[in-house]
A and B are shown apart, each in its own frame.
Chain A
Amino acid sequence: KAGVTQTPRYLIKTRGQQVTLSCSPISGHRSVSWYQQTPGQGLQFLFEYFSETQRNKGNFPGRFSGRQFSNSRSEMNVSTLELGDSALYLCASSLASGHGELFFGEGSRLTVL
C-alpha cells in the first residue's frame, strides 16, 4: 500500500511569489492534515480537511490556504511568500477525523529567497 505522497519534494521560490504543494493520501484515507515544520517553531498545525471540508485551521495568516478534492487529494497554497515561510511542509492522512494514527508524508521543503 503506497504511503502519503507529497510533491514537489524540494522547491525554491523568491519573496512575493506564490506556491502550491500537493498531497496524495493513503488510499481510502479521507482526512488530510497539513503541518509546517521549522527549526525555531517546530511542528505547527496548518489545517485539516475531511471529505472536502476544512475541519480545523491553525493560527496562520490568510496567505496560507488549502483545499481537498473529491478523491481526497489535497493542495495547499501560500501566496506572497515571505522569507519566514521557508520550512518543511508535511501532509498527513488518516482514515477519519481526529484521534487515531496519522500517517505523514516525507514533506515538501520550501526555500524562499
Chain B
Amino acid sequence: GESVGLHLPTLSVQEGDNSIINCAYSNSASDYFIWYKQESGKGPQFIIDIRSNMDKRQGQRVTVLLNKTVKHLSLQIAATQPGDSAVYFCAENPPNSGYALNFGKGTSLLVTP
C-alpha cells in the first residue's frame, strides 16, 4: 500500500547549525501535509503545515518545502537549539479523509552543544 517514509532515521547536528529533515510521500492525491515534533513522554506537537497549492511555507525558525513533482517534503530548522531535540514526523492527509493522517516513521534529531 501507499505510505509516507523518511529518508534518515537519525540526524545529529550542532547547536546553532541549520537542520534539514526529509520526507517522501507516495500518495499523489494528498493535498495537505503536516510536520509534528514529539518529545519523549509527550504526544506529537504541531509544527507547521502546507497545502498542495503551495511549495514553501515559513514559520518561526522553521520552513517547509513541498516538491510535488518528486513527492518530497522537507522541514528546515534554522539555528537549531537543544530544545529542538525530538522525533520529527511528517504526515500526509489524502483528500476526503478527515484526520486519517498517514505518518512517516519519524526522524530523531539530536542537537549537540
Q: Which residues of A does B touch, CB under 8 Å?
A: 4, 31, 33, 35, 42-45, 48, 50, 55-56, 58, 90, 92, 94, 97-99, 101-107
Question: Do A56 and B98 contact each other (CB < 8 Å), given the known contacts A4-B43, A104-B44, A104-B45?
Answer: yes
Contacts of B89 in A (CB 8 A): 42-43
Q: State in angstroms the CA–CA spacing of A99 and B91 once bound together.
A: 12
Give chain A's interface secondary structure class: strand
Number of residues from B at the complex interface, CB < 8 A: 25
Total number of residue pairs linking A and B with CB closer than 8 Å:
65
Q: State in angstroms the CA–CA spacing of A48 and B41 once bound together.
A: 23
Q: Which residues of B does A touch, CB under 8 Å?
A: 32, 34, 36, 41-46, 49, 51, 89, 91, 93, 96-106
